[in-house]
Amino acid sequence: MMHNRKNGFTLIEILMVVAVIAILTGVVILAINPTKQLGDTRNAQRRLDTKTILDAVLNYMSNNNGTLPAPIPLSTHCPTPASNEICKTGAASCKNLVDLSALTENKKYLLSLPIDPTGFSANGSGYYIVKDANNHVTVCAPKAEEGTIVTTTR
């Protein structure tokens, strides 16, 4: 007696495996939430950038008898007033922006001023700087994501 049996998978079995893989892939993508992960990564970069700018300002002040590298607006809230955005390195114009180019001269304090990952303007870096009445300097990134406020003060 001959049996005519073929080994292999039926179309239904293959479709079931593909459906299970698709469902598991969807669950993993939702669990990872790439949009949130990217936002968190950019916010981490903003925290590092605000600290880097503030460290350079404080090093400049330390080397120049407490003098700030530029006229920094007096305010208790960052990013107000509107004219306290830091000018980009090599910008065409720093009009109505805070010019911290003294920090990048001769690359003594910074090679170039950091630029916000998503929130910069034509000549501005996307980072803002203010000082209070006691000369405490604050650098902030108002375009932070995920409802986060990124500020560094010293």
Average pLDDT of the residues in 107-112: 94
pLDDT digits (tens, 9 = 90+) for 32-83: 788 888 999 999 999 999 999 999 999 999 999 999 998 899 998 888 766 7
- Type of residue found at 147: G
pLDDT of residue 3: 64
Give the mean pLDDT of the chain: 90
Q: What is the 3-state secondary structure (H, E, C) of 73-92?
A: CECCCCCCCHHHEEECCCCC
- pTM of the entire predicted model: 0.80
Side-chain half-sphere of 21: how many Cα atoms within 13 Å?
A: 6
Q: Assess whether pLDDT exceeds 70 at residue 110.
A: yes
pLDDT of residue 102: 95
pLDDT of residue 59: 96
Each domain of the chain, given as residue ranges in start order, spans 36-153
pLDDT of residue 2: 60
Cβ(118)–Cβ(42) under 8 Å? yes
